[in-house]
Amino acid sequence: MAFLELRDLQKDFGSVRVVRDFNLSVQPGEFVSFLGPSGCGKTTVLRMVAGFEEPTAGSITIGGRDVTHLRPNQRDIGMVFQAYALFPNMTVAQNVAFGLKVARVPKAEIDERVAEMLKLIKLPELADRYPYQLSGGQQQRVALARALAPRPKLLLLDEPLSALDAKVRVALREEIRQIQRDLGITTIFVTHDQEEALSMSDRIAVMHGGRADQIGSPFEIYNHPKTRFVASFVGTLNILKGSVTDPQTGTIDIDGNVIRLGRALAGKQLGEPIAIALRPEAASIANGDGREPLARGRITDVNFLGSVIRIRVELGENSISFDRFNSPNSPPPAQGEPCGVSFAVEDVLVLDD
């Protein structure tokens, strides 16, 4: 049975529909990310779950209980904000204790729980400091401890890492995931950073224009994107434009290169334009090691990035960019060289818009 059920959620601000037809079932203990660009509605959905926005239509159920019209302080949810939102007039310990104090938990138990939380975030020595004395990363960890102290049933994180430095971000996201696993708490994580979503989540809801374009595991989202938006937002993508030669056999022409996809192209006719997409890691240089190149072109850019060499090949109107691991014993190809590109036709995504 799903722990968190969002059914047909919709939110209008005046005449603007900011969230539409949003459906999601989250299992207990699952970590789900809402991923999308700013303005896609992901934060609005989160705020509806928290109770700060009232849905125009639809329902929200937590643990079987319909919370759609409950006030935020009645929902038993923990939340971490992008701007930390620690209370400046209280010490770290007092901040963490706040939810317990409001719930009139006896003092001894409060002290015990606070100590436990500070140990969890590995900052027990900062108990008596004030927020203005802490770094951004420390403040956010305290915010997490504060949210978790009352043992809520659901944890919401609203772009918690966006305000932090890159290095702190990476370290903290691993910590958050670890803590979440240890506690087994159902979690929703909002972010615009696809690397965060991909590395942390059990499932991702990719959002676009107020709607969830696709909900699935990171593997699915990345390798089998359902829409062009998902394909281009998550990871990088080479988009090649050509025309259909034979819709039955799925043969297409890209800049004079004939490529047989081996699957029928439904709804396409002879001569119609078509766009395909290819992940960079799916392509490689064909240099006579048995694989026949599927496309030929000329190398226009070689960027040596250390462990990886990024190569750009121009086919004509289109160009493909892909990475190759550096190998100490073979030098990178030279700019201007003619080059063959090979890839598996199964890896080609046909874009349908």
Partner 1 sequence: MSLAWLGILPFLLFSLLFLILPTMKIVVGSFQDSTGAFTLSNIVNLFQPSILAAYWISIRISLASAFLGCLIGFLVTWAFVLGGLPGWIRSPLLTFSGVASNFAGVPLAFAFLATFGRVGLVTLILRDWFGINIYALGFNLLSFGGLTLTYLFFQVPLAILIMTPALDGMRREWREAAAILGASGVQYWRMVAFPILWPSLLGTFALLFANSFGAVATAYALTGSSLSIVPILLFAQIRGDVLQDPHLGYALAFGMIVVTGIANGIYIWLRARSERWIK
Residue numbers at the binding site for partner 1 (CB under 8 A): 50-52, 71-73, 75, 77-79, 81, 83-85, 87-90, 98-99, 101-103, 130, 132, 143, 146-147, 150
* Residue 87 or 304 having the CB closest to partner 1: 87
φ and ψ of 318, to 5 deg: -100, 160
Alpha helices in 103-164, H assignment, sequence order = 107-120, 136-148
* Residue 77 or 179 having the CB closest to partner 1: 77
Nearest approach in angstroms of CB 4 to partner 1 is 15
Nearest approach in angstroms of CB 14 to partner 1 is 14
Distances (CA, A) of 84 to 132, 135, 146, 266, 273: 11, 11, 11, 50, 49
Quick count: other Cβ atoms within 10 Å of Cβ 107?
10
* Residue 154 or 179 having the CB closest to partner 1: 154
Distances (CA, A) of 274 to 148, 203, 277, 281, 286: 50, 31, 10, 22, 24
* Residue 85 or 170 having the CB closest to partner 1: 85
Cβ atoms 201, 32 nearer than 8 A: yes
Nearest approach in angstroms of CB 50 to partner 1 is 6
* Residue 143 or 212 having the CB closest to partner 1: 143
- How large is the angle between the packed helices 92-102 and 136-148, nearest 10 degrees? 20
Nearest approach in angstroms of CB 143 to partner 1 is 8
Distance of CA 24 to the CA centre of its chain: 16
Nearest approach in angstroms of CB 33 to partner 1 is 20
How many Å apart are CA 25 and CA 188, to the nearest integer?
Answer: 11
* Residue 52 or 304 having the CB closest to partner 1: 52
Closest CA to 293 of 315, 277, 308: 315
Helix (H/G/I), strand (E/B), else coil: 218: helix
Nearest approach in angstroms of CB 101 to partner 1 is 8
* Residue 132 or 219 having the CB closest to partner 1: 132
Nearest approach in angstroms of CB 87 to partner 1 is 5
Q: Which residues pair with 305 in a beta bridge?
A: none
